[in-house]
Amino acid sequence: MKSSALLSGAAKAASYNMLLQLALRMTTFVLNAFILRYISKDLLGIVNVRLTLLYSTTLFLAKEAFDRACLSKSEERDWRQVINLLWCTFPIALIWCGSLGYIWLYVLDNPDSTSSITGYTAGVICYSMSTAIEVLAEPLFVVGQSFLFVKLKVVLLGISQGIKCILTVFLVLMQPQWGIINFSIAQLVSSIVYITLYHGYFAHYILKNKKDDDFPLKSIRDMYPRIIPNKPFIDLHMASLTWSFFKQSFLKQILTEGEKYIMTFFDVLSFADQGIYDVINNLGSLAARFVFLPIEESSYLFFSQILTRGSPAHKQSQDSLGLCASVLGVLLKAVSLIGAIILVFGYSNAYLALHLYGGEILSTGSGPLLLRWYCLYVLVIAVNGTTEAFVFAAMSKEEVDKYNKKMLLFSGLFLFSSWLLTSFIGSVGFILANCLNMVARIIHSLYFISEYFHNTTYHPLYDVVPCLPVVFSLIVSLLVTSISEMLFCTSTSSILYKVIHIIVSGACLLFVLATTYFKEQRLVQIVKEQLFKHKTDKSS
């Protein structure tokens, strides 16, 4: 396959995957807003944390390493051996299902005996079975990815997840007393639909397209394992590569799902608190994903294209270096301002936002406090993403390797601080641990940036803090909206009083934006130029 085709296909796949993630996030967002009014906090925690962790862990351990190894480029690849190797995911999934299912049933606390929630045992069995069912599509998934069926994954996963969401809502409405069983049925049906669509699509494709010489599956029989004359059953080199990837990805999984593992294995939170934390985490991360992640990705692309990786500042083109310093300073100020606005207005509107989104299940108890702290975390994420975008673009390969080792240390400290803080202060401890982890990374990045520009005339970090009038407007808005929330937005307030609070918050937001517009002229001018340029590019 030509490099140009690979590049085009990879770009399309990335775009479709972004759309898929956006669609799944929004679907989950809407689904949670609906079903939160019909289920208990305990049920929310069991399903969204414990059972979902069982599913994601089993699926990750069963297939992630195979994905990475079998998608690696190899000139001497025999697809028959690759297919055989990929079918090994099914017995491996069964082993993990049995092992982890036993732990979830007999080592961890069983909610059937400690709470009013029933159906936990059936839930563990169903979520485990859904993993084993889904890996039956693994060989076809890898073939599809390798031959750039870029829309296939998005469409099939979108259909199966859509059916899962619709079925969950239907069952929760029709049979609310079934509890965990409702989610378990929807999970199983979704997995069955997923593999049926994959096998059905490729069976149709094979029968319809017999002239494609590059495509390795010539008949439906080729979709399944078989003995290969005069060759090993599997590619031994690829099997060895799979084992290497497994050891690497095992640590990645622990770090990625670290919070949920601590919740599950150390009993630091009740099921109700776990459920509320998971919803707040998903709700709070919307700003990070939809606002700051695109800025971070675009920043990295810009810096990596304009800087020569690994070269010190004095060896860079001075025009490029000056532009980089200017853009970095403006970006840091912009994301700091956006994060500060989210913190100020999120703090005083946390209760109202949660009440509108999920009703009393979220707005009572620890929910508002969690969201307030999460708003602080969003500010920290914003700064960290932009600083690391520059650092990763400027670092040499050796510096990146050293940083990866530091990241391992940061992650270990995060897991330890998560366990320690949650043991003392509950679910807020997870957010504080995340903040500490991000602050440590920001300090590292700021040190790198400071050293990088040390012997130059450029000082991008001097421009980070907003001007005094903007800071003053933020402080005033925080005080006014906080007082407004205490007066007009409590659990006993009428709708009229809550509307008054919304009006006060809106007026304060306009005050902050107006102050920023008139006092941060350089920032506003750059934003205007970029927006005008974007419109001009689109029209041309």
What one-letter code names the amino acid at 350? A
* Angle at which helices 180-208 and 150-174 cross, to 10°: 150
* pLDDT tier at 76, thresholds 50, 70, 90: low
What one-letter code names the amino acid at 318? Q
* Longest distance between any two alpha carbons in the chain, whole Å: 81
Percent of the chain with pLDDT strictly greater than 70: 90
Among residues 67, 222, 193, 68, the alpha carbon closest in space to that of 133 is found at 193
Question: In Å, how far are 45, 70, 133, 293 from 143, measured between CA atoms?
Answer: 36, 9, 18, 30
* pLDDT tier at 538, thresholds 50, 70, 90: very low
Mean pLDDT within 97-123: 86
* pLDDT tier at 2, thresholds 50, 70, 90: very low
* More confident: 312 or 450: 450
DSSP assignments along 338-400, one per residue: HHHHHHHHHHHHHHHHHHHHHTHHHHSTTHHHHHHHHHHHHHHHHHHHHHHHHHHHH--HHHH
Q: Do the Cβ atoms of 271 and 427 come closer than 8 Å? A: no
Q: What is the pLDDT of residues 232-261, one digit of tens each?
A: 778 788 888 888 778 767 766 777 788 889
* Alpha-helix residue ranges (DSSP H) falling in 395-491: 397-425, 428-452, 468-488
CA angle 188, 194, 198 (to 5 degrees): 150
Listed in sequence order, the residues at least 6 apart from 87 whose beta carbon sits closer than 8 Å to its beta carbon are: 138, 139, 224, 225
Predicted local distance difference test score (pLDDT) of residue 516: 93
What one-letter code names the amino acid at 115? S
- Cα separation, 465 vs 461, in Å, equals 8
Q: Do the Cβ atoms of 307 and 394 come closer than 8 Å? A: yes
Here the tokens at position 354 are: 């949660």
In the numeric block, the tokens 């998971």 are attached to 278
DSSP assignments along 221-258, one per residue: GGGS----TTS-SS-HHHHHHHHHHHHHHHHHHHHHTH
pTM for the structure as a whole: 0.80
Predicted local distance difference test score (pLDDT) of residue 7: 46
Q: Do the Cβ atoms of 286 and 27 come closer than 8 Å? A: no
Predicted local distance difference test score (pLDDT) of residue 73: 57
Q: What is the pLDDT of residues 332-386, one digit of tens each?
A: 999 999 999 999 999 999 999 998 888 888 888 888 999 999 999 999 999 998 8
Predicted local distance difference test score (pLDDT) of residue 349: 93
Q: Exposed (0-12), middle (13-18) or buried (19+): which is 495, by Cβ within 10 Å?
A: exposed
* More confident: 515 or 319: 515
Among residues 82, 63, 67, the alpha carbon closest in space to that of 134 is found at 63
Predicted local distance difference test score (pLDDT) of residue 6: 47
* More confident: 164 or 294: 164
* pLDDT tier at 212, thresholds 50, 70, 90: low
Q: Exposed (0-12), middle (13-18) or buried (19+): which is 201, by Cβ within 10 Å?
A: middle
* More confident: 91 or 231: 91
- Cα separation, 274 vs 276, in Å, equals 6
Listed in sequence order, the residues at least 6 apart from 39 whose beta carbon sits closer than 8 Å to its beta carbon are: 172, 176, 179, 361
Among residues 85, 87, 94, 83, the alpha carbon closest in space to that of 61 is found at 94
Percent of the chain with pLDDT strictly greater than 90: 35
- Cα separation, 400 vs 377, in Å, equals 25
Predicted local distance difference test score (pLDDT) of residue 72: 64
Q: In the predicted model, is pLDDT for residue 210 greater than 70? A: no
